[in-house]
Amino acid sequence: MELVCIECPRGCLLSAEKTEGGVSVSGNFCPKGRAYAEAEITEPRRVLTSTIRAAGAMVPVRTDRPVKKSMIFALMKKIRAARLTHAVAIGDTIMENIDGEGANVVASASYGGEPCSI
């Protein structure tokens, strides 16, 4: 598998393959590239970005750490089913431990909450 390391702007072109003893990586200038390639080939993860429904708005959100790529559709379903009903500031946690491994969904923008009804 050919990969471009995204850990720094250098963008090393990596070659990674599963072997009997683990993962063989070449092309990395530093150990971060090896770790990145090993993760990509064994259990790729991504920060999930989405929006959550609120009254009169869609509020941008993201996970505060990378989640397993294999779980992304299930997590998107949970986010789609949720509704934000209170004000939040950027970085506030909206959904805790969404993946069962400690990743929280946090606000990427502030939201003022439900409109007042008097």
Could you say which residues in the range 16-75 bind ligand SF4, by CB under 6 A?
A: 28-30, 32-33
Backbone φ and ψ of 78, nearest 5°: -65, -45
For 52-74, letters b (16+ CB in 10 Å) and e give: bebeeeebebebeeebbeebbee
30 vs 34: CA distance, rounded Å: 7
Q: How far is the CB of 36 from ligand SF4 (least distance, A)?
A: 6
Q: Does residue 11 touch ligand SF4 according to CB under 6 A? A: yes
Q: How far is the CB of 5 from ligand SF4 (least distance, A)?
A: 3
Q: Does residue 80 touch ligand SF4 according to CB under 6 A? A: no
Q: How far is the CB of 86 from ligand SF4 (least distance, A)?
A: 40
